[in-house]
Amino acid sequence: MKIIKRNGAEMEFDISKIENAIMKANMSVEDGSRMTPLQIKRIAQSVELDCENMGRSPSVEEIQDLVEKQIMAHGAFEVAKSYITYRYTRSLVRQSNTTDEKILSLIECCNEEAKQENSNKNPVVNSTQRDYMAGEVSRDLSERILLPRDIVEAHEAGIIHFHDTDYYAQHMHNCDLVNLEDMLQNGTVITGTLIERPHSFSTACNIATQIIAQVASNQYGGQSISLTHLAPFVDISRRKIRKVVEKELVTLGVNPEEEKIQKIVEDRLHEEIRRGVQTIQYQVVTLLTTNGQAPFVTVFMYLGEARNEREREDLALIIREVLAQRYEGTKNEDGVWVTPAFPKLIYVLEEDNITEGSRYWELTKLAAKCTARRMVPDYISEKKMLELKGDVYTCMGCRSFLTPDRFTDAGVGNIANAGNYEPGKHKYYGRFNQGVVTINLPDVALSSGGDMDKFWKIFDERLELCHRALRCRHERLLGTPSDVAPILWQYGALARLEKGEPIDRLLYGGYSTISLGYAGLYECVKYMTGKSHTDPEATPFALSVMQRMNDKCKEWKTAENIDYSLYGTPLESTTYKFAKCLQRRFGIIEGITDKGYITNSYHVHVSEKIDAFTKLKFEAEFQALSPGGAISYVEVPDMQNNLEAVLQVMKFIYDNIIYAELNTKSDYCQVCGWDGEIQIAEEDGKLIWKCPKCGNTDQNKMNVARRTCGYIGTQFWNQGRTQEIRDRVLHL
């Protein structure tokens, strides 16, 4: 069995260290208050058993908590007092150098928690280490100086999660929709160099990747671009190629029919589209931004965004090529085609592509084929989004949705000075999210002891705590000068403000949002009602919890003119943190705190048996109550030989839910060439990945792609998330 030291490093569990620590405390008290050697041995054995029952590697702090409880359970209160006093004294000594120890453990690559903190960051490479080192310093500043003490303590206790504290010290926001159209059509500036309007599709794609990298390096969350903004450059290339072809024909003295000329032009155009899309595909996966990972970018594919028929047809050409190249994948270091994590793809299901015989049905079939093999694209229903939001637009990153803008209706106008602003038309590109704070719903339930009146009282108190934490995020951005990120605030990605101008006006009136996140609705409902929230008797309570959070967001928004919005948090490492904190605060409670993870947002528990269609239909009601962002999924086996079933799920999504995805597996063992599912096994109390064919357990010699929380992870996960992945049941 392994344990996690304070600096994040792993080491073997050693029961003798527990015995020695208790003996030291025992010897420091009067003879009459001391325990016997047998009692000390039994305490150590009980602690060892409790650690083994966790099903994961416990931390030193958790082990010490268990020791305290066992000493007191034996009635040795003087010994417990001595043990606690010594522990407190040592913690005071450590306070001065905790950050130093963490940084050193990062450099030496022995911090297991950091290694698995982000499933798309390689903690061994210098750029990631540099980002983590800076993050530790920023986190230390934030927690000691910048944030109120009660918010820091609630965050540390897992009562709330103040996301991205490692970036809070800087004036940075979360995620956004890049106004690529404005930057391409009206020019931009990248590191002091003027980038003018491109004169071909391939050049536009190249500039787009430079913009993506710049944006990713100036924020800490995801970004989204639309292929619609690239579509006008297809016809520019078409006309340019036509001139070249006509000149060549004159030179050759050839006068073919118009039909043949058009074919030559279109063939060359398709080749340019292929090269342009390949530029985006390969640049995104090979770029390394300042935060140590490939840009977290989402590519939006919506035919309904096109302004005219020509643009719509050209957009379809781009989408077809994007899907074809993603289906092929990218080559790993052995030259084997594997599934890349980015860019994330979103395909909009609409009237013209959702039924057999519809105009773009073949495009939808290609999307289904790609999903079955590479897990993307994910799907947005035009029908449901129009019904629930009144408009269709992409999310920022993996799931964070803007609220439909209200500054346009309020007559505020072009507050970002965008070059492509259209009066009277709602604006989405160029808008952003200020940040996220998440409430731990199971903690609210457990703190109430199951008393419903007490639950609502504690819930309101915790929501107000989240509100104050979100205000900290908002106020940290107030006064931020546009100069801190010129690509964002001065050169079109989000705005075209003057140098030195603060971004303040973009923080109010609905131009940007700020997110109240939530996690563990399932466990919360299960504890309070004894049933899953899928049970008809428990569903009303679950919906009332959702409604209370929405009501609070509305209340804050009305009072402050800031667009608070409820967000179904995509927990990654935090699912493990919350689970550990719940166990520490409330012990192991069957069905509630007995896992190394808690359930993401409103999702049906990963182990609950439910079919794909029932799951999507059920979760649609909760997704509608998460206007700030949500995504649902169904877990499926290898579907490459059952595309009809994939298409049936897609049609169901179109009719029933705004945003959903299909989760499958895409693995490769570099030792033996196995391309089936790499499995999760348990060795010495730790979950590991193991090739079922050759037994390879070296993560450096395998490619594993799994859907983590709305996006694909490829760098492996912490023990809690790995347990959650192992526990998933198939829905189809």
CB 50 within 8 Å of CB 66 = yes
Q: 397-419 burial, b if ≥16 CB within 10 A, otherwise e?
A: bbbbbbbbbebbeeeeebbbbbb
What is the mean pLDDT of the segment spanning 221-245?
97
Three-state DSSP class for 438?
A: strand
In degrees and rounded to multiples of 5, residue 444 shows phi and psi of -60, -45
pLDDT digits (tens, 9 = 90+) for 127-140: 667 677 777 778 88
What is the mean pLDDT of the segment spanning 300-308?
97
The verdict on 90 and 102 lying in the same domain is no
In single-letter form, the type of residue at position 681 comes to A
Question: Domain tally for the chain?
Answer: 3
Is it the case that residue 595 has pLDDT exceeding 60?
A: yes
pLDDT at res. 627: 96
The verdict on 231 and 316 lying in the same domain is yes
The per-type count for the chain, helices as H runs and strands as E runs, is 25, 22
The verdict on 185 and 83 lying in the same domain is no
270-275, long-range: CB < 8 A, 24+ apart: 270/317, 270/321, 272/200, 272/201, 272/202, 272/237, 272/241, 273/201, 273/234, 273/317, 273/318, 273/321, 274/321, 274/325, 275/202
The verdict on 234 and 382 lying in the same domain is yes
pLDDT digits (tens, 9 = 90+) for 433-457: 999 999 999 999 999 999 999 999 9
The verdict on 233 and 320 lying in the same domain is yes
Among residues 578, 628, 584, the alpha carbon closest in space to that of 600 is found at: 578
pLDDT at res. 124: 64
Among residues 517, 500, 514, the alpha carbon closest in space to that of 472 is found at: 514
Q: Which two tokens stand for residue 21?
A: 């620590």
Lowest mean pLDDT among 281-285, 290-294, 382-386, 642-646: 290-294
Last residue of a domain, one of 361, 389, 417: 389
- Does residue 73 lie in a domain region? yes
Percent of the residues in the chain that have a pLDDT greater than 70, as a whole number: 92
Is it the case that residue 566 has pLDDT exceeding 60?
A: yes
The verdict on 75 and 128 lying in the same domain is no
Task: Report the distance separating Cα 426 and Cα 403, nearest Å.
Answer: 11
194, β-bridge pairs: 189
- Does residue 9 lie in a domain region? yes
Is it the case that residue 114 has pLDDT exceeding 70?
A: no
pLDDT at res. 95: 54
Last residue of a domain, one of 371, 389, 407: 389
Instruction: List the catalytic residues.
Output: 174-175, 396, 398, 400, 433, 567, 572, 710
- Does residue 553 lie in a domain region? no
Spell out the alpha helix ranges (H) of 157-230: 165-168, 180-186, 201-216
pLDDT at res. 125: 65
Radius of gyration of the chain (CA): 27
* Beta carbons within 8 Å of 324's beta carbon, 6+ residues apart: 366
- Measured over the CA atoms of residue 246, residue 252, residue 253 and residue 258, the dihedral's sign is negative
Among residues 368, 441, 429, 371, the alpha carbon closest in space to that of 161 is found at: 441
Residue 306: give its domain's CATH number.
Answer: 3.20.70.20
Whole-number Cα distances in Å, 153 to 6, 63, 170, 524, 573: 18, 20, 21, 22, 19
What is the mean pLDDT of the segment spanning 85-114?
60
In degrees and rounded to multiples of 5, residue 637 shows phi and psi of -80, -170
- Does residue 482 lie in a domain region? no
pLDDT band (50, 70, 90) for residue 295: confident
Give the residue with greater pLDDT, 409 vs 584: 584
The verdict on 211 and 344 lying in the same domain is yes
pLDDT at res. 106: 54
pLDDT at res. 285: 86
Instruction: Write out the residue range of the structural domain in which residue 90 sits.
Output: 1-96
- Does residue 82 lie in a domain region? yes
Is it the case that residue 403 has pLDDT exceeding 60?
A: yes
Last residue of a domain, one of 73, 96, 119: 96
Spell out the alpha helix ranges (H) of 604-682: 612-623, 643-656
Is it the case that residue 93 has pLDDT exceeding 70?
A: no
| Whole-number average pLDDT of the chain | 91
Task: Report the distance separating Cα 613 and Cα 610, nearest Å.
Answer: 8
Three-state DSSP class for 22?
A: helix
What is the mean pLDDT of the segment spanning 392-410?
87
